[in-house]
Amino acid sequence: MSHEASGERCPRRAFVSQLLAGTPEALVVTGLGSAAYDVYAAGDRDLSYYLWGAMGGASALGLGLALAQPERSVVVVTGDGELLMGIGSLATIAAKQPRNLTIVCLDNGHYGETGMQRSHTSLGTDLVAVARGFGFADARSVASLDACESIAQDIRARSGLRFVRTLVEADEPPRALPPRDGPYIKNRVRAALGLKPF
């Protein structure tokens, strides 16, 4: 029985916290809204690149960072709505096949930042099938905190491009707001990577 059929879903914030605890050296890019709040709530770190108004841009930014930093694990943590907005970036990512990039989509089936309207994943869109269609050989769906350990191991190993759709509860934990100053966030990440600000 599939996760969807069973109705199994995991707590979003706990999943993000556990995954990031297992990948302390990873460079993390967030989608806007809930993904950014969850990553920040798990513990702010200099290697977290929070996006605020660039809906649809998280995966593309993650690709650029993965290509520029091949010796680092890069994790994009985003939601289904944000990913759907820039879905074409998955095609480019699959064409480039960076071995150090993992896309983690927190799929609650809703647009959480605009009133919890149903997203396309509630209406039949299968993001794992989409990712496979674009060329992600490792595309999987998880719905349990138990999956965090193996995902974290894969991220640390940088053993290949992967897409992880995480079915999460459609709840709204209290917002934990990361810094909103774009140049500050960019330069903080650059400094953590040993690069000069610009």
What is the sign, positive or negative, of the torsion defined by CA atoms of 20, 83, 63, 196? Answer: negative
Residue reference for tokens 């500050």: 184
Percent of all residues in the chain with a pLDDT value above 90, rounded to a whole number: 75
pTM: 0.92
The first and second tokens of residue 48, run together, are: 């977290």
Residue with tokens 């994943």: 121
Decide: helix, strand or coil at residue 117.
strand
Instruction: Report the 10 Å Cβ neighbour count for 40.
Output: 19
pLDDT for 70-109, tens place per residue? 999 999 999 998 999 899 999 999 999 999 999 999 997 6
What span, in angstroms and rounded, lies between the C-alpha atoms of 152 and 26? 10
Q: Name the residue ranges covered by the structural domains of the chain.
A: 3-192
Residues in the chain, how many?
198
- Architecture category of domain 3-192 in CATH: 3-Layer(aba) Sandwich (3.40)
Percent of the chain with pLDDT over 70: 89
- Model confidence at 123, in pLDDT bands (50, 70, 90)? low
Task: Tell me the C-alpha distance between 68 and 71, whole Å.
Answer: 9
User: Is 1 exposed, middle or buried, given 0-12, 13-18 or 19+ CB atoms closer than 10 A?
Assistant: exposed
* pLDDT range class, residue 121, cuts 50, 70, 90: low
Angle between helical axes of 89-96 and 127-134 (0-180°, round to 10): 50
pLDDT digits (tens, 9 = 90+) for 165-186: 999 888 888 889 999 999 999 9
